[in-house]
Structure 1
Amino acid sequence: MSRTLLAREANQARLLAAYAQEFMGRSLAADIPRAVQERTKLFLMDSLACGLSAVKRNYPSLQVLQEEALAYTLAPPAPIPGYTKLPWSVPTATVLGTTAVVPLEKAVLFNCAAVRELDANGTVFGFDPRHPTDRNAGEFGHNDFYPVVLASAEAHQLDGETALKAMILHDEIRGRLCESFSLQSHRIDHVLHGGIATCAVYGALLDCTEKQIESAISLLVSHYVPWRSIRAGHQLNDSKGCSAAFTTEMAVQSVHRAALGFEGPADIFRNPASLFRVFEPQSDGQSPFDLFLADPSPTATPEDFAITNMHFKLGLYEHQSAGAVHALLALLAEEPGLQASAIRGITVAIYDPAYGIICDPAKWAPTTRQSADHSLPYILARLLVKARAAERAGQSTDHDLVGLWEDLMLTPEDYNAEALEDYATRECISQVRVEHDPALDAHYPAGIPTRVIVDLADGRQLTRTVHAPLGHAAYPDEAACLRLLTHKMKTFLDDPDTLERVQRAARLEELQLEDMHTFVADLQASIPDVNDAQEPGSV
């Protein structure tokens, strides 16, 4: 086991800065296992496919943020007297879907929002199976932050090896923070951990000092805390999908300010008035947690890195529902002769916090895409509708689980206006019952424990229990996951040329400066320019 301890008795913000700097100085080939590199590239490709798919569909929230970013498309400013301390020219990067170059923080704002918009990219549940008793805070998180590194590579001329190393570092910091401190328990949105990681990684890429990176982290935590009010109410909306983008924009701004000499509060994790100490008071003046991070070295193993414990979404659904999705599809695929048309009811037993997130009363009548993809009743109903439609069309559902998952995979079209208003889907929602089973709680966050019982027309009941569904880090068949992930990217993008451009990330570490620039530029060119965009939300 190879790990670095940032002890609760120390200034963890300063130590985190030093860790990021040291990490970026390590050798990718010699110190980071190949399996970690390959897994990170899969998450990168998945995120890019989700982002480009969302931009292609021109959702209203993205249209607003894209217009905001494009408003900053200006000629380079003339030198300003007194600003000789600037360590760089104004950093700029490209906005997805355009050829416009804007200030880096505005490109990051839009590009991160695009990656997150569909809520279909990778996720983490804040749990390390090798340390189940002390690294189990269970905080959520998503792989929304790769655009920060890509924009940095474009703005500051980084090669592919440096970019991949920075992505691994970001996932490591964010993932370990999710294991160490639960933000949701205090009604704070999980994206703050990603913002802290952004400060550390982006600061290291800019060669900021330890003190400057510490200041950037403290500026973010002191001034820009995202509350879970964005997830409250009867219907979810644009704020939920853009939370990571807003936090990341402010993280980048905080780094820029700190690099110019702006100082934030010191020692933010032990600061008695910071959120960490206010919500979890410590009589001894310490931080509420120790932070363990991977130590890149020739003896490091894949299990040392947080990316190993992150999960893929194999379709468009809130990941807490993955156990129920797997169970229902497994019953349809593996029970001899079972037809979807014979199912008269579905009862789901699920754990908390999933019960409170995807099964609350408002989720039985979702009217927005964001609420529907966080509604377990809607997700299962939509699968059942698609399975019944396939049967009526004469398409066989009598094949293996992976094949059926491909055929019935939930896509953005399952959450458009037509699908939300579909009468058959509404009827199927009425056939779904969900209950909280406290006995399942102990199996989360190690798994996604879910029991599905289907009632058949002939009076029989069939049951399937799933703990680690397809896409979960603990699922044993990696080949099945890769097959479904490839199918997902192909289906979401619906364009072979765009898919080919995204899949160039499979050799990211080989890209030199010129190749890296071409890779990023090609991603921009892989979708229509904003001036040729579709109507908002069209598909």
Structure 2
Amino acid sequence: MDRVIERIVSMEQTIAYNRLPTNAVQAARRHLVDAIGCALKGYREPVAEIARALASEVTGARPVSVLGMGRGTTAEMAAFANGVMIRCLDLNDTYSSSGGVGHPSDYIPAVLAAGEEAGAPGTVIIEGIVLAYEVFCRLTDATHYGVTGWDHVCNGVIASAVASAHVLGLAPEEIANAVSLAAISNFALHETRVGVVSMWKGAQSANACRNGVFATQLARRGMTGPEAAFEGRVGIIKVAAPQFDLDLLTTDMDRLAILECHVKRYPAGFFSQSAIDAAREIHRRIGHPARLRSVQLGTFPFGVQVMAGDREKWAPKTRESADHSLPYLVAKALQTGDVSFDAFAPEALADPDVARILSVLSVVEDPDSAASWPNEARNVLEVTLDDGTVERVVVENYLGHSRNPMPDDMISEKFLDGARPLLGDSAADTFLQRLWHVDELSNIDELMATSLVRQPQR
């Protein structure tokens, strides 16, 4: 067997609820609550409405649920629609490594779809989440996908396949075929996240999630994939991952990847989270920034490359471009003292006050920030006022970073902020409690049913 596929199958066989450390189980609960909260917050977004409309046109023999709509579509279309809702606001979690980055909760919908189809207990849902994170994050380490040509969702499609196969109880040889089918057929480009960023930024990982579930459905029915998908003569390593490091594709139960993932505080790219904190602090000190002479943000190379490296990042015209623009996000936080969902309205993007701040703002690589990456997401913001006064703020790890974890009650509030307007207070509270205690459930049918939106459409 291909050594990469063999290693991934071995990872799947390692994960069992009764072997998971207590902190990993709690981390899975935390990231589940956070992801579903993000989905409900993104429920009304146009890209989410497109995805749900498409899912509603498909009926499965074993129907599963789209969040907010109830049961009725196929597992792969539920994974797609739920994945779009989780991802579209750029509010869900992140994994960062020296080689790449990505958003592992993008692949929780594969676990939920498989779990609902199989009638799996909540303990298996926890296993599936931990496994999806483990495979995605360790592949990110090994492939270096996420900030160069190939997009991180190339790893996500494999994580979705393995996690859904685990939840469905596939045999090792079937899981190997699911991995091969997912890996060999689903490559995506990082171009989605640069230039003028489109709606597809909020859907590319959901598409990977869908394709991973589909690969598992094929393998479950006997479809075979190439035996050497990674290590073959024209396999993935030869063609698309020459830097692949097999030694990094391993599971350490004392250092599971889910414990190294970060929850977001703001609806914006991960690289900007501590920069927004710094800008908010300077706004607190100086008030409205009418007297700015210059603004300089010092950050790590990935931050400059991904969120300040295109001219469109300096005058964003779409929501998706703006939430991936370090210059815009810093300028908006300096102007208003926050970055909320209103920051991406058309009138906010065209605000002349923001344009004036952008005209005196620069983003540069900071040596200390570069040296501390990926252990820290360090940003240094320095502003000079017209009278020569200099204000400087350094933020190493924002509240939500794995080294500065967001408290559980704040994750709950983040969830309720999205859930209550859609579900009502009582149903939102019930849904939240079921999510926090998901591993106590015999199946997730009632959990998913609790997500029904009172007014499904606008």
Shared fold, TM over 0.5: yes
| TM-score, normalisation: structure 1 | 0.78
d(CA) in 1 for partners of 2:412, 2:360:
32
- 1:519 aligns to what? 447
d(CA) in 1 for partners of 2:112, 2:71:
15
- 1:306 aligns to what? 257
Q: Does 1:60 align with 2:46?
A: yes
- 1:390 aligns to what? none
- Deviations, residues 99-127 of structure 1 (Å, cap 9, x unaligned): 3501111111111111111111010012x
d(CA) in 2 for partners of 1:291, 1:322:
27
Partner amino acid, structure 1, of 2:54: E
Q: Does 1:419 align with 2:390?
A: no
d(CA) in 2 for partners of 1:381, 1:328:
8
Q: Pairwise mapping of residues 62-211 of structure 1 onto structure 2 (< 5 A)? A: 62-73=48-59, 90-126=61-97, 136-184=98-146, 187-211=149-173
1:469 alignment partner, SS class: coil
d(CA) in 2 for partners of 1:417, 1:486:
30
d(CA) in 2 for partners of 1:504, 1:185:
36
Partner amino acid, structure 1, of 2:199: D
- 1:252 aligns to what? 213
- 1:243 aligns to what? 204
Counterpart contact for 1:14–1:213, Cα < 8 Å:
no
Counterpart contact for 1:138–1:445, Cα < 8 Å:
no
- Deviations, residues 415-458 of structure 1 (Å, cap 9, x unaligned): 12232233333333334222233553232222122211022343
Q: Does 1:430 align with 2:359?
A: yes
Counterpart contact for 1:70–1:100, Cα < 8 Å:
no
Q: Does 1:346 align with 2:295?
A: yes
In 2 relative to 1, CA 207–482 (structure 1 residues): closer, same or farther, beyond 3 Å? closer
Post-superposition shift, 1:10? 6.2
Coordinate RMSD, CA, aligned: 2.4
Q: Structure 1 vs Structure 2: percent identity of aligned residues?
A: 24
d(CA) in 2 for partners of 1:67, 1:429:
38
In 2 relative to 1, CA 483–453 (structure 1 residues): closer, same or farther, beyond 3 Å? farther
d(CA) in 1 for partners of 2:191, 2:412:
35
In 2 relative to 1, CA 49–423 (structure 1 residues): closer, same or farther, beyond 3 Å? same
Post-superposition shift, 1:349? 1.4
Counterpart contact for 1:490–1:499, Cα < 8 Å:
yes
Partner amino acid, structure 2, of 1:384: L
Post-superposition shift, 1:499? 4.0
1:353 alignment partner, SS class: helix
Q: Pairwise mapping of residues 254-403 of structure 1 onto structure 2 (< 5 A)? A: 254-281=215-242, 288-296=245-253, 301=254, 304-333=255-284, 338-341=286-289, 344=292, 345-359=294-308, 360-387=310-337
Partner amino acid, structure 1, of 2:455: P
d(CA) in 2 for partners of 1:431, 1:62:
36
Post-superposition shift, 1:246? 0.8
In 2 relative to 1, CA 272–330 (structure 1 residues): closer, same or farther, beyond 3 Å? farther
In 2 relative to 1, CA 498–448 (structure 1 residues): closer, same or farther, beyond 3 Å? farther
Counterpart contact for 2:110–2:163, Cα < 8 Å:
no
Once the two structures are overlaid, the 10-residue window that deviates more, 115-124 or 423-432, is 423-432
* Greater C-alpha Rg: 1
Counterpart contact for 1:98–1:528, Cα < 8 Å:
no
Post-superposition shift, 1:52? 1.0
Counterpart contact for 2:147–2:306, Cα < 8 Å:
no
In 2 relative to 1, CA 166–269 (structure 1 residues): closer, same or farther, beyond 3 Å? same
Q: Does 1:12 align with 2:12?
A: no
- Deviations, residues 253-310 of structure 1 (Å, cap 9, x unaligned): 111112222111113222231222224548xxxx6422443355xxxx4xx2111111
Partner amino acid, structure 2, of 1:520: M
d(CA) in 2 for partners of 1:140, 1:498:
32
Q: Pairwise mapping of residues 426-505 of structure 1 onto structure 2 (< 5 A)? A: 426-438=355-367, 440-475=369-404, 478=405, 481-482=407-408, 484-493=410-419, 495=421, 496-497=425-426, 499-500=428-429, 501-505=431-435
Once the two structures are overlaid, the 10-residue window that deviates more, 377-386 or 357-366, is 377-386
Counterpart contact for 1:347–1:434, Cα < 8 Å:
yes
* Residue ranges of structure 2 left out of the alignment (5+ in a row): none
Counterpart contact for 2:100–2:141, Cα < 8 Å:
yes
Counterpart contact for 1:343–1:454, Cα < 8 Å:
no
Q: Does 1:47 align with 2:9?
A: no
2:101 alignment partner, SS class: coil
1:474 alignment partner, SS class: coil
d(CA) in 1 for partners of 2:362, 2:283:
18
d(CA) in 1 for partners of 2:4, 2:147:
21
2:203 alignment partner, SS class: helix
In 2 relative to 1, CA 448–18 (structure 1 residues): closer, same or farther, beyond 3 Å? closer
In 2 relative to 1, CA 433–484 (structure 1 residues): closer, same or farther, beyond 3 Å? farther
- 2:455 aligns to what? 528
- 1:404 aligns to what? none
In 2 relative to 1, CA 498–120 (structure 1 residues): closer, same or farther, beyond 3 Å? farther
